[in-house]
Amino acid sequence: MTNYVVRRALWALVAVFCVNAVTYLIAFGIPPDPARMIAGQHATAATVAAVARALHLYLPIWQRFLLFLWGEVHGNLGYSYVYNRPVLSMIQQAVPVSASLAVCAIAAELLIGVPVGIIAAYRRGSGLDGALMVGSLVGISMPTYWLGVLLILVFGYLLGWFPITGYSAAGLVLPALAVGITGAAFYARLLRSTMLDVMSFDYVRTAHAKGLAERTVLIRHVVRNALIPFVTQMGIDFSGLVGGLIVTEVVFGIPGLGLLANQALGNLDPTVIVGETTYTATAVVVINLVVDIIYAVLDPRISYS
């Protein structure tokens, strides 16, 4: 078991290192003159040279990467070229914001997706089932950007029920709804199909034969067993959300990791791009590592070699 954990952890480290190296090469390789970018178009050549020296831009890129790694290990991810503040603090401020949006988004997906899936499975073949499945297909197909703007217009502006922009408790409702409507369909369809599977199993027939109420059969036996692949899907979903929802955050003005990434890419701010990609990669890798360990603990048969 320990062997397994150590091996997984080491590979995790390798994965993060690779992401780090590739992102660094891309982010610092693309802008032809990072010093000029920072110093701005009005700076003299002497100023640009001074900036270049301070950022070690005269060194070959592999040496700069090593310097950067050294700083990373000590918690220093460098400074944003545009916003004049430490990259680490920008990320630290953005993480709780994105995390709260992620939680609300998943909650919205579940609140919409689960009832839809259960009802559709229970009423399989009926007009209601068809309507719900078509509806969820429409939901998946909607671009989040478009839906977000629509929600802002209707519920923020015309009805005034929610704030149009900004990060607050009320301000998370519309973005969560935008993600929820577009993402609920995955859960609805998954739950419907797994429920239909389970409903055909022997133990369900046994429960019916025992004379249990329909409702009890549904909830105690069918849904609980159908939820297992469901939870796996949630894990994947959360893992994907950990890097922030770029489009949603931009449309609604939520200052999370997605907005940070969008701005950094638009500004070609290499330190923020590298820092944030490294953070996201680390988070995903750590989550997967933890999940793998939990699986191994739950089922000792599991130990991928």
Using CB under 8 A as the criterion, which residues of the chain lie in contact with other proteins when the complex forms?
Answer: 30-55, 78-79, 81-86, 90, 93-94, 149, 152-153, 156-157, 160, 164-167, 250-251, 253-255, 259, 263, 266-268
Pick 118 or 247: Cβ nearer other proteins = 247
Whole-Å CA distances, 212 to 200, 204, 218, 250, 290: 16, 10, 10, 50, 39
Beta carbons within 8 Å of 31's beta carbon, 6+ residues apart: 37, 268, 270
Minimum gap (Å) between residue 233 Cβ and other proteins: 31
The token pair at 20 is 């780090």
Pick 31 or 235: Cβ nearer other proteins = 31
Pick 164 or 296: Cβ nearer other proteins = 164
Q: Are 167 and 97 in contact (CB under 8 A)?
A: yes
Pure H helices in the chain: 2-29, 34-39, 45-54, 61-73, 87-122, 127-141, 144-151, 173-199, 202-209, 214-216, 224-241, 246-252, 257-267, 270-298
- Using alpha carbons, select from 189, 187, 178 the residue that is nearest to residue 105: 178
Pick 109 or 276: Cβ nearer other proteins = 276
d(CA 9, CA 52): 37
Q: Are 148 and 175 in contact (CB under 8 A)?
A: yes
Q: Are 261 and 276 in contact (CB under 8 A)?
A: yes
Pick 113 or 156: Cβ nearer other proteins = 156
Pick 56 or 220: Cβ nearer other proteins = 56
Q: What is the CA radius of gyration of the chain?
A: 24
